[in-house]
Amino acid sequence: MNDIVAVFQAFPVVLTGTCIVFGLLLGSFLNVVIFRYPIMLFREWESMAKDVLQERGFSLIPPKEPIDKQPEKFNLVVPRSACPKCGHKITAIENIPIISYLFLKGKCRNCKTPISIRYPVIEVITGLTFGLCAYHFGFGYPLLVALLVTAYFISMSFIDIDHQILPDTMTLPLLWLALVIAIFEVYIPLTDALIGAAAGYLCLWSIYWLFKLLTGKEGMGYGDFKLLAAIGALVGWQQLGVVIILSAGVGAIIGGAMIAFQHKDSQTKIPFGPYLAAAGWITFLWGDVILQNYLSLAGLK
């Protein structure tokens, strides 16, 4: 074990390469999380709703169709991944990140149905971001936490894209993780993390209510508040401005492009979580550099 640590410390390129490969492998699992976890939540919420209604004396009419077409026993491990078209079980050799997709030419081995390009894209994103974390932090506890945070950001972003939800079961553990590591000052002092969490939540909460009072509409969900609170606890209150400006800028550009080129209506709901997560991750790694350069350009330093 000591020899491995010594190699990682002496040869950063080995550490970076290892993290890229690990990221590719984990990205394959994140694809499972992104697809299955929302279904698990929807089932849980449906069950809770039924229990509440039955406790209050309501008689329930069975739905004509289930909320999903997955088997009764369904979690992150069971059943094995399969082609949604023909049901072909994905073998280990067909599940190698990137390589299997290229070997199969992006199609199911059995029925030749096209496989979504998003699967290898998520694997590549995870691999590259893990590699950048390794290059930035080097070997140590800060890197381990950074990899976990990165996996959280990627999972939540794509779940929000698919379903426009940021589950409490993901945002709140991330918030607590950021606060706990701040106790040990892995990245920032605990005081900065606590203020960052409170400021992050209150910032979007205030914008939400101001927008609702002016328009009568909800401009974002409460999950966005909690995500920015977690990011604030991670990067500190001093860098929240960088996160907000980056996320708002990218969101405005992409949202405008969708309206202009995809003929989307201006009332189309666009999930804000992915922009917050991307801005939070960028600030997490390079927030100090971005902030210092901005202050220098503005003549405030």
Per-residue model confidence as pLDDT tens digits over 230-268? 999 999 999 999 999 999 988 888 777 777 776 666 667
State whether 149 and 296 are in the same domain: yes
State whether 111 and 178 are in the same domain: no
Rounded Cα gap, residues 127 and 121, in angstroms: 10
User: Cα angle at 71 between 273 and 24, to 5 degrees?
Assistant: 45
State whether 26 and 91 are in the same domain: yes
On the 0-12 / 13-18 / 19+ scale of CB atoms within 10 A, 169 is: exposed
State whether 71 and 148 are in the same domain: no
The mean per-residue pLDDT over the stretch 264-274 comes to 79
What's the pLDDT at 38? 97
Which residue's entry shows tokens 């023909």? Answer: 86
Contact 124, 98 (CB under 8 A): yes
pLDDT band at 89 (very low <50, low <70, confident <90, very high): very high
State whether 184 and 223 are in the same domain: yes
State whether 95 and 150 are in the same domain: no
Rounded Cα gap, residues 256 and 182, in angstroms: 37
pTM (predicted TM-score): 0.94
State whether 104 and 76 are in the same domain: yes
Q: Which two tokens stand for residue 95?
A: 């599940």
CA 30 to chain centre: 10
Among 28-32, 45-49, 86-90, top mean pLDDT goes to 28-32
State whether 114 and 177 are in the same domain: no
State whether 196 and 133 are in the same domain: no
Backbone angles phi, psi at 83, to 5 degrees: -65, 125
44-58, 87-101, 137-151, 255-269: the lowest-pLDDT one = 255-269
Residue type, 90: I
CA 112, 114, 117, 123 dihedral sign is negative
Rounded Cα gap, residues 137 and 54, in angstroms: 53
State whether 247 and 171 are in the same domain: yes
State whether 133 and 276 are in the same domain: no
Residue type, 37: Y
Which residue's entry shows tokens 């945070």? Answer: 149
Residues linked to residue 114 through DSSP beta bridges, in sequence order: 107
Nearest by Cα to 247 from 279, 207, 201? 279
The mean per-residue pLDDT over the stretch 261-279 comes to 82
What's the pLDDT at 79? 92
Task: Give the number of other CB atoms < 10 A from CB of residue 32.
Answer: 13
End position of a domain, from candidates 116, 139, 162? 139
Within the chain, residue ranges assigned H as helices are 2-10, 12-55, 99-103, 118-137, 141-163, 168-183, 190-215, 222-235, 240-261, 273-297
End position of a domain, from candidates 139, 154, 180? 139
Q: Which two tokens stand for residue 100?
A: 């299997």
The mean per-residue pLDDT over the stretch 150-167 comes to 97
Q: State how far the alpha carbon of 166 is from the alpha carbons of 2, 7, 202, 212, 241, in Å.
A: 40, 39, 17, 20, 22
For residue 258, give its domain range. Answer: 141-301
The mean per-residue pLDDT over the stretch 39-60 comes to 90
Rounded Cα gap, residues 32 and 141, in angstroms: 27
Q: How many domains does the chain have?
A: 2
State whether 89 and 165 are in the same domain: no
Q: State how far the alpha carbon of 232 is from the alpha carbons of 135, 214, 281, in Å.
A: 23, 27, 11
End position of a domain, from candidates 123, 139, 155? 139
- Helix 273-297 vs helix 141-163: crossing angle, to nearest 10: 120
